[in-house]
Copies of this chain bind each other. A is one copy, B any other.
Amino acid sequence: MSPSLSIPRRIRSTPFRFFNEAQGVKAYTVYNHMLLPTVFHSVEDDYWHLKEHVQIWDVACERQVEIAGPDAARLIQWMTPRDLRNAAPLQCLYAPLTDERGGMVNDPIVIKLDPERYWLSIADSDVLLWAKGLALGGGFDVTICEPDVWPLAVQGPKSDALLEQVFGREVRDIRFFRCKWMSFRDHPLLIARSGWSKQGGFEIYVDDKALGTTLIAALLEAGQSLNVRGGCPNAIERIEGGLLSYGNDMTLLENPLECGLDKYCHIGGDLDFLGRDALAKIKAEGVRRKIVGLKFSSDSIPACSDAWPVSRAGEPIGEVTSAAVSPLFKCGIAFAMLARGHWQEGHTVTVATPEGPREAAVSRLPFTGNGTGQ
């Protein structure tokens, strides 16, 4: 049974709360000091709907940190091991942010609006303060703010069909992880083909509250025949899909190499960034722990709201960071940070859940197979 959530002004509402409530939101969480819906019908019902139809998500909590000015590109490049030097305008770049030890500060999508103006669409930590601190300390010539932008996501296999009706045929031409300025009621809106599911879809960067209300009404109207409804990032779908979550699966205590984000880290070249030496050393020595998948031998696992210890033959080898019961694989699945020597696919481990020990097998990420642990 979930406890109630007290919502003082400190926990910021969103312009779309009326919509969540009209759609019967059952629970929220708090993300970037802001409300984020987590359940509408039930997590499993929401999951099936997301995989078959199309949903409108209030992800206003994906705050934008705008960094602008002559030193904007230099500051942002200092903040991430991702090589942004050849970033194209209106490209979305997933970029782990690291501190001096290589620990993860956040994992935003960076959008280059123009050569001197960027948005970082952030996960749950105060990147505004981090970026401002670095800039003030280091004397960068930038201005940094959190603009009034509230992303609205449209996710699910019918997303293209829905957005075409509202924005026209050309919305289909937006490539994966690219943005385009589209017009709605004569107001330009940035639309990206992105979003926190593996079901396809878009994120619309709404910068006008009243227009957001009009947009939602238009999407609901256009989507009637597509079985559109309100939704939210889905705890099952994102684990099945291998989407890590900052704060859950990675924190300041983990580095991007431990989180399997090697391909976003330009280490050992001529790129300079915070944590470069630390990450180079870690890469040379090999990581001592890494995130892997786990498939449980049953579907009997409790809700995961804390790290669950993982052992093998009695020896502690790591912990589960997120878990869910997968309708696709018909068993519990999890992400686990495990020590070196224990990453071999199929190896059996024991997870100490609050409801007792559970057997699980190490799996590659993203998960594959048919639910029998294969």
Partner-B contacts on A (CB < 8 A): 2-11, 13, 25-31, 33, 38-39, 99-100, 105, 124-140, 235, 245-248, 252, 274, 304-307, 321-322
Contact = CB atoms under 8 A, between A and B. Distances in A.
7 contacts: A8-B235, A8-B305, A9-B307, A9-B321, A100-B136, A127-B129, A137-B140
A209 to B, nearest CB: 13
Contacts of A135: 133, 137
Contact of A9 (B9, B13, B136, B305): B305
Contact of A245 (B10, B130, B140): B10
Count copies of this chain in the complex. Answer: 2
Nearest to A26: B4
Contacts of A11: 29-30, 247, 305
A321 B10 CA distance: 9
Contacts of A6: 2, 27-29, 38-39
B5 A28 contact: yes
Contacts of A129: 105, 125-127, 129-130, 133
Given A3-B26, A7-B305, A128-B252, 18 more contacts: A3-B7, A3-B27, A4-B39, A7-B29, A8-B235, A8-B247, A8-B305, A8-B322, A10-B245, A10-B246, A11-B30, A13-B306, A99-B132, A99-B136, A129-B129, A129-B130, A134-B137, A136-B138
The 6 closest A-B pairs by CB, nearest first: A133-B133, A137-B137, A10-B247, A137-B138, A126-B126, A5-B5
Contacts of A247: 8-11, 33
A129 B307 CA distance: 23
Contacts of A3: 4-5, 7, 25-28
A248 to B, nearest CB: 5
B126 A125 contact: yes
A230 to B, nearest CB: 14
Nearest to A2: B4
Nearest to A10: B247
A25 B28 CA distance: 18
Contacts of A246: 10
A39 B6 CA distance: 9
Given A136-B100, A137-B135, A4 B33 contact: no
A140 B133 CA distance: 12
A134 B129 CA distance: 9
A6 B46 CA distance: 15
Contacts of A306: 9, 13
Contacts of A9: 247-248, 304-307, 321-322
Contacts of A125: 33, 126, 129
A5 B13 CA distance: 14
A33 B252 CA distance: 13
B2 A5 contact: yes
Contacts of A26: 3-4
B27 A4 contact: yes
A13 B305 CA distance: 8
A139 B134 CA distance: 10
A132 B127 CA distance: 12
A243 B201 CA distance: 45
A162 B28 CA distance: 38
